[in-house]
Amino acid sequence: MLRADFFERFGMLVVKEFLDDETCRRLRRAVRTAVPTRAAVWNKEIGKIVDEDARRTTRAKVTKRIESFVERRLLALRPRVARHFGVTLRGVQTPQFLVYGPGDFFECHSDSNPDPNAPRYLQERCVTAVLFLNGSRRRRGGEASTGGGLTFPGLIEEPRLKSRGFPVQAEAGTLIAFRSELAHGVTPVSCGERYTVVGWYV
């Protein structure tokens, strides 16, 4: 795994300590007590479906209060995100709270789809923000998970490295933002639970 800063050289925005440890702990608790649902994917032929060959992830239905709290924090970052990516952003879609248990993963995909037949929420996505609520290594007693790397394949043009995925090693509270069309996935979690929040700037 590579430290989050490494990804800045590919134009990504990395914000360390976007949330403090106590807030991450509070959000993890909120996620654990929320109603769990199986996260879906969008399929061109079928529409929105749960397809566990492509994605095995739990989406936690947290309270509106928790959802709005994270949404406000993401909105506060919007001017910096817009400047960084050189785009105009008018808002952020409702963030999704995700949990990956052992064996859970998300195949390589992109978050936006320019196809005029795709749902509007996919057409509109411009920048994806992934917020890590726990880390991939133990730090100050935080609950860490292993495996479950947010991975970006094809970052390096060199033929030998082109097909290789580069997984991020992030700490709790770190946010990483990238253009929504960029291919990414989450490798299977091997141990513990991995908690993230994903938001999309439009």
Ligand X SMILES: O=C(O)CCC(=O)C(=O)O
Interface with ligand X (CB under 6 A)? 98, 106, 111, 130, 150, 184, 186, 196, 198
- From residue 9, alpha-carbon distances to 24, 47, 129, 152 in Å are 27, 35, 17, 13
As a whole number of angstroms, the distance between CA 143 and CA 182 comes to 29
66, 30 in Cβ contact below 8 A?
A: yes
> Which 8-state DSSP code applies to residue 197?
E
Q: 73 or 184, CB closer to ligand X?
A: 184
- Minimum gap (Å) between residue 84 Cβ and ligand X: 19
The two tokens of residue 56 are 């095995």
- Minimum gap (Å) between residue 131 Cβ and ligand X: 9
At 69, the amino acid letter reads F
Indicate the residue whose CB is closest to ligand X: 196
- Minimum gap (Å) between residue 170 Cβ and ligand X: 9
Q: 34 or 130, CB closer to ligand X?
A: 130
Q: 70 or 198, CB closer to ligand X?
A: 198
As a whole number of angstroms, the distance between CA 73 and CA 96 comes to 14
As a whole number of angstroms, the distance between CA 56 and CA 185 comes to 11
- Minimum gap (Å) between residue 189 Cβ and ligand X: 10
As a whole number of angstroms, the distance between CA 115 and CA 44 comes to 10
Q: 66 or 99, CB closer to ligand X?
A: 99
Q: 85 or 106, CB closer to ligand X?
A: 106
Of how many residues is the chain composed? Answer: 202
Q: 12 or 130, CB closer to ligand X?
A: 130
- Minimum gap (Å) between residue 196 Cβ and ligand X: 4
60, 36 in Cβ contact below 8 A?
A: yes
- Minimum gap (Å) between residue 164 Cβ and ligand X: 18
Which single residue is written with the structure tokens 């253009």?
A: 179
